[in-house]
Amino acid sequence: MHRQEPVFSNFILMVTEECNLRCDYCYMVSNPQRIGEDVIAKSLDFMFGQTCENNETLPLSLCFFGGEPLMVPEVIEDICFRVLERAKVENREIRFSMTSNGTLIDQTRAELIKLFRIKVNLSIDGAGEAQDRHRKQTDGRGSFRLIENNIDLIRSLPYVSVRLTVSPDTAPLLSHSVHWLLDNGFESIFFSPVVEANWSAYSLSALYDAYKDLHAFQKQNSRKKAKIKNLARDFDRLRKGHSRHYGCGASRNLVAIDASGNLYPCQRFFGYFGKSQESRIGTVFDGIDPPSRAKYMSYSRLENSETCGSGIYAEGTESRLQHCGNCLLFPVCHAGCMAVNAVTTGSPVKASPVNRLLAQVAASACLTVFGDLQDYENTGRILASEN
């Protein structure tokens, strides 16, 4: 019996490639291209055509992406109306989200977001100088003032999570930025270091201090609703262990669609590699290309990873089993991202050694604050291994 490949249930739709900011580390190149009617129609056909082998329908998740998606609110509104109408006819559950830099959220756009209950993933670098160092406007000025001006409207949205991008030179400002967000009423915060950046001993030390400070803060305020999500995740994974076969859902249950209708394993692939033919897995006009999809699904399997070359394994682990999934740092490591791997090492299955350093910072800070994590006795060697 033929085995059906996993169906896609998570879709990232690039409604515009244009952005009003010029973040110097961004993997996307701003240009005026917007999604057209033909691509919208075929994208919806592709999305709603995803069903299981027994015709079981799965909930669908549609994320509006860019560029800056709120540069084209009329396009988002049109797509939402069409998706909801079709979902009602086909009895499909649908969830909307968007990744936005937040600088264009005015009253009209806020009402649009509320009308369609769009979950907003607010992508920023932090407070004040942390935001202004890398997230510039087109005229070179910083963008924190725009965030500050919109803060009340952003906070009023029904579903907002904040994703902080941390660069080596903003690591010393991380703790201040997170506390600023918490003080301004944001209840879901996630921060992530830029793996592609050059991390020095000083910046790693500053990152460790921030992790430790924020872990201690969250421990003291554990009963409060607001959470620093990645710290809670790290604590949980280190305490319980964390095992999976794939680095992420790219090309398995997640697919990204650019403004021309090309399909990619995730949004990073059409950014990092200039929308190259090699990184595509099909189009909404012709459907999925099975060999291309299978290639990336194979790359994502952790047993096929070459690792960063400096992982930490339990004593006695055979060399053939020394892949990312068995590394003691794996629960808090980002080495499973095929796109970042390809950019930093030239291979989707080989992680950069910086992943080990960043994971060691995350694990060490958590262990320093909590110290009594159960069911993870080997992780204590992470601290000793560098001394």
Q: Residue 223's pLDDT is what?
A: 72
pLDDT of residue 379 exceeding 80: no
In the predicted model, what is the mean pLDDT of residues 162-185? 97
C-alpha distance across the termini of the chain, in Å: 55
Tell me the pLDDT tens digit for each residue of 73-105.
999 999 999 999 999 999 999 999 999 999 999
Token look-up 């600023």 returns: 180
The Cα 152–Cα 163 span in angstroms is 18
Q: Residue 162's pLDDT is what?
A: 98
In the predicted model, what is the mean pLDDT of residues 115-125? 98
Q: Which helix (H) or strand (E) holds 120?
A: strand 119-124
Q: Which domains does the chain have, with CATH numbers?
A: 10-240 (3.20.20.70)
Query: Which of 264-278, 298-312, 367-381 shows the lowest per-residue confidence on average (mean pLDDT)?
Result: 367-381
pLDDT of residue 221 exceeding 90: no
In the structure, what pLDDT confidence band is assigned to residue 382 with cuts at 50, 70 and 90?
A: very low
Instruction: Give the contacts of 162 (CB within 8 A, at least 6 positions apart).
Output: 121, 122, 124, 181, 186, 188, 189, 190
Q: Residue 372's pLDDT is what?
A: 58
